[in-house]
Structure 1
């Protein structure tokens, strides 16, 4: 049976089939996908005269670049994800976020000046800060603000609290935008705990929201130590708005160790990855 994909006219043909290098093959896959909305791995294997394993690798690479979504037997067009509301985010990967919160809180020392970003993972850090002495905490998160106020009422928070003003998002319970950026310009901190939606060696750290990304980028720049907090679902993922490149980050706190193929690159960039089994010896492995 004739393949339904033989319409492509930009490719050289050999014996009625296509013979392409990897990048050109992926470009043609995207052309076919845009025309038809779906591609089948077996048919692509026949079309390009390569193994189905090669096609799966092509599709995986295109998926990592957010160009398509793999499904059983092939792939469909990529539909950009939308950032879920905060209440929905708080209900997923709960144990992973608690683990990250404990690890990140362990990096906070008495007398530190820190920024705690908005987000369900960053919020977990604050639960572990009771008992720290003489902290100054800046935040753009309404839940972080309310939790620290509760600690103040109980007498378990010793320090100062600064809420960064600006445009409030009721959906995400956070502040961002030009006013918030202007307020942040006047502060320099020891450590910032940064929430992200994606962490990628190639694309850096990213967010779903452009205004949030711009605010967080400034947070990183105004910190002696910028610390990303990200559970396993954010790793090797790219979203729409770039915050900054990985070399601008000093530490990443996660619930799992980094992918093995990342370790050499992280070491070269001087980015420390902290996870539950982390020790200083881990970086030399």
Structure 2
């Protein structure tokens, strides 16, 4: 086995274990140049094993939704930074929607001290956060429970959300593609997110860097359909340029 193939196999093993690798970390661990690592990641993408994202690569098998508990463990630090930035948009007296995505969930610890706050959600995890913290008025939308998401979906949930109007909707997303927009893997998710956006004065997408460049299976929004995007790493030019042209605010956490 050549040195390059040995290095590729090591990177494959890291991706299987962590689902994501960073160029800087690979340079430090494998003692090769940045350009060598970038070539390796391009090769793994060509093979269909990985997808390159800003600063590194993610395992291609992530291109499908994973159980809620598994998604909670991925990119925790980045999600908390995004959650803090999203929480800063929430003011006393607001009525907000928070969806079931794990990145949206990260905002909760930063809003729990807001006064006279009403939170509407289809997420059991969002609701359970406030079991022992009673300052917020929490409304859980009824509907069909999907255990993999720990959330409710379906016609009942959509009908219920249409009874509410929000100052702000905090919406997670499964994938962001430069040509196909904001995408999801499940139709129920996409429908709920569209309904939440329609009921909100302002809607923001929260997305960690691994979501950019991925391709979902369902188109949820166009890139210009939301008011703002909150993420933690500088966007690639193809995304940054489009958001600027579409007048979508990009907030870096």
Same fold (TM over 0.5): yes
Larger Rg: 1
Helix, strand or coil: the match of 1:238? coil
Q: Which residue number in structure 2 is paired with residue 260 of structure 1?
A: 237
Task: Report how many aligned residue pairs link the two structures.
Answer: 204
- Aligned 8 A contact 2:178 2:238 in 1: no
1:69 matched to 2:29? The reply is: no
Which protein, 1 or 2, shows the higher relative CO under an 8 Å CA cutoff with sep ≥ 6?
Answer: 2
Summarize the alignment of residues 113-262 of structure 1 with structure 2, pairs less than 5 Å apart.
113-152=95-134, 157=135, 159-262=136-239
Structure 1: unaligned runs, 5 residues or longer: 1-59, 72-77, 277-285
Q: CA RMSD in A?
A: 2.3
Q: Shift of residue 182 of structure 1?
A: 0.7
Q: Shift of residue 188 of structure 1?
A: 1.3
- TM-score normalised to the size of structure 2? 0.75
Structure 2: unaligned runs, 5 residues or longer: 1-41, 51-59
Aligned structure 1 segments of 4 or more residues deviating by more than 4 angstroms: none
* Pick aligned residue for 1:84 from 39, 63, 66: 66
- Aligned 8 A contact 1:199 1:205 in 2: yes
Alignment partners' CA distance in 2, 1:133 and 1:107: 14
Helix, strand or coil: the match of 1:193? strand
Note closer, same or farther for the CA distance 1:172–1:130 as it changes in structure 2 (3 Å cut): same
Show CA shifts across 1:25-64 (max 9, x none).
Answer: xxxxxxxxxxxxxxxxxxxxxxxxxxxxxxxxxxx7xx7x
- TM-score normalised to the size of structure 1? 0.67
